[in-house]
Amino acid sequence: MNRLLPIASFVNHELKNFPNPGDPTHRDQLQQAGYIPVPAQGNWNYIHKWLKDNYPFRYTWTGEIFWFDDPAVASDFALRFA
């Protein structure tokens, strides 16, 4: 399995020049780096609170797509919100 840089570190170091999470370059960089995209539906405030309570520093988002650095976390999220 390919070990990814923790997503919080990647965002802070590699994406610092793209402050808008909706920027297409932001999405492209996450995809090229191998992070796992999961589209989500629901109450955004609830989703972000749930993620911060359960998986802080393990995700970022670009509009309606959430990105994860761990397949198990992505799977858990997808079962709840995709």
The torsion defined by the Cα of 34, 63, 58 and 37, in degrees rounded to 10, comes to -30
- What is the per-residue pLDDT for 19? 60
Structure letter (DSSP) for residue 42: S
Average pLDDT, integer, range 29-58: 91
pLDDT for 1 beyond 60: no
Render pLDDT for 62-81 as a digit per residue (tens, 0 to 9).
888 999 999 999 999 999 99
pLDDT for 9 beyond 70: yes
